[in-house]
Amino acid sequence: MEDWFAGKVAERYDADTAEMPVEPVVEFLLPFAAGGALELAIGTGRIAVPLAARGVRVAGIDLSTDMVAQLRAKTDEIPVEIGDYATTKIDGAFSLAYIVFNSIVNNTTQDGQVATFANAAAHLDPGGCFVVEVGVPDTRPLEVFDLSETHVGVDEYDAATQRSASHHFNLRDGVWERRSLPFRSVFPAELDLMARLAGMTLRERWADWDRSPFTAESTKHVSVWEKP
């Protein structure tokens, strides 16, 4: 995997995601985290740091040294291994593994996503759960998902390959900057099969962290798979 979050992206990440929910995520994860929590793509610790502040033993895996440097500026108490979250191991077993904010699709191959489920399951105690937050693919070839005076977001989708990209145009200091991220879109049913291959079964699926019902109109889902 390529590090798409290096340099200025890491430096700006917390500011750029300041409006993203934190407390609802932590409240959702807490009941699963009594035996410790492992965050895949831990990044700057946007979720891990407040989760640890609630008394949870948290560890993480992340590919980006620059993102982890932002985490280290906040705390040295959370152990992190640098590497691909699909294959990198970290000491310990956990009752919860989780990956949020579409980070599962940053792995742009089916094999890589399958390996991510296997790696999560390998770190879980019996009865542990893997929680994933990810969007439901928009099957239109092009879709403007955000339009404001300072940001334009455009998603691109290739139905034949499930390869996608998000193009972000940000106005910074009077200059428009473009940043594009490739990803691999994946539907809930395919994720369920990946979980089964890793020995896990679907426990629950919601439309958001508030446990609102998942329906055909939902644009994302929060899914929980359980290890026997």
Q: Which of 4-8, 62-66, 69-73, 77-81 has the lowest mean pLDDT?
A: 4-8
Q: Which of 75-79, 103-107, 136-140, 201-205 has the lowest mean pLDDT?
A: 136-140
pLDDT of residue 162: 92
pLDDT of residue 219: 95
pLDDT of residue 79: 98
Angle between helices 8-16 and 65-72 (to 10 degrees): 50
pTM of the complete model = 0.92
Q: Average pLDDT over the chain, rounded to whole? A: 94
Residue in the block written with tokens 């929980």: 224
Q: Is the dihedral of CA 126, 190, 153, 178 positive or negative?
A: positive
* Residue-wise pLDDT tens digits, 20-55: 999 999 999 999 999 999 999 999 999 999 999 999
Which whole-number Å values give the CA distances from 188 to 136, 173, 206, in the listed order? 7, 40, 11
* Residue-wise pLDDT tens digits, 147-164: 888 888 888 888 889 988
pLDDT over 80 at 2, yes or no: no
Strand-pairing partners, residue 209, are none
Mean pLDDT of 210-217: 98
Q: What is the DSSP string of 152-202?
A: EEEEEEETTTTEEEEEEEEEETTEEEEEEEEEE---HHHHHHHHHHTT-EE
pLDDT of residue 136: 96
pLDDT over 90 at 140, yes or no: no
And the tokens for 1? 């995997």
pLDDT of residue 50: 98
With b meaning 16 or more CB within 10 Å and e meaning fewer, what string describes 36-70?
bbbbbbbbbbbbbbebbeeebbbbbbbbbebbbeb
Query: Measured between alpha carbons, how far is 68 from 193 in angstroms, rounded to an integer?
Result: 31
SS3 97: strand
Query: How many CB atoms lie under 10 A from the CB of residue 113?
Result: 20
Query: Measured between alpha carbons, how far is 225 from 67 in angstroms, rounded to an integer?
Result: 27
Strand-pairing partners, residue 142, are 156
Do the Cβ atoms of 101 and 135 come closer than 8 Å?
A: no
